[in-house]
Amino acid sequence: MNGWQIALLVILIVMLVAIVVLYFLGKKAQKRKEEQDAQLAASAQTISMLIIDKKRMRLKDAGLPQAVIDQTPKLMRRSKLPIVKAKVGPKVMSLIADEAIFAEIPVKKEVKATVSGLYITGVKGLRGPIEKPQKMGFRAKLQAKYNKLNSEAQAEKASKKK
């Protein structure tokens, strides 16, 4: 065997070992996630709240209690989380929203939210259904921007002709 074949064989073996390790780590992480979801579901309660604001913010800038910040892993402290400021009863609170429902949460509206501690796991409209935002792809966004600019340019031309 020449040098290239040996190098390719070694790379193939290393990649195969990495795939097997990632498979087992993924299964372990999935079991852990299922256990956490079961705990969240067990302690969940439905609360009506008025959504004041929603943003993606760093944990330390979100206004969460210091105990929450201390319990989070150091790598998570730097990442941005979906934070929702809501009025629950007479109290204004900062809550962490689930990534899957963050886009659905309406601002300046009253909702019934399923909350587990400081974590919002579900949202329903209090006075009717919640409008789900339409997801636009990259091409659709460019097309909409083009149409807007084109209509503005035509309106400008028409006003100059008069």
Question: pLDDT tens across 143-157, in order?
Answer: 999 999 999 888 888
Separation of alpha carbons 81 and 60, rounded Å:
10
Name the pLDDT band for 160 (thresholds 50, 70, 90). Answer: confident
Residue for token digits 């309106």? Answer: 155
Range of lowest pLDDT (41-45, 59-63, 81-85): 59-63
What's the pLDDT at 86?
Answer: 94
C-alpha 107 chain-centroid distance: 16
What's the pLDDT at 155?
Answer: 87
Count CB neighbours of 126 within 10 A. 14
- Find out whether 114 and 122 touch, Cβ atoms under 8 Å: yes
What's the pLDDT at 136?
Answer: 79
Range of lowest pLDDT (124-128, 132-136, 138-142): 132-136
C-alpha distances out from residue 68 to 65, 93, 96, 102, 148, Å: 6, 14, 11, 20, 44
DSSP string of the chain, one letter each residue: --HHHHHHHHHHHHHHHHHHHHHHHHHHHHHHHHHHHHHHHHT-EEEEEEEEEEEEEEGGGTT--HHHHHHS-HHHHHSEEEEEEEEETTEEEEEEEPTTTGGGPPTTSEEEEEEETTEEEEEEETTSPPPPPPP--HHHHHHHHHHHHHHHHHHHHHHHH-
What's the pLDDT at 97?
Answer: 93
What's the pLDDT at 94?
Answer: 92
Percentage of the chain modeled with pLDDT above 70: 99
Q: What is the pTM of this model?
A: 0.66
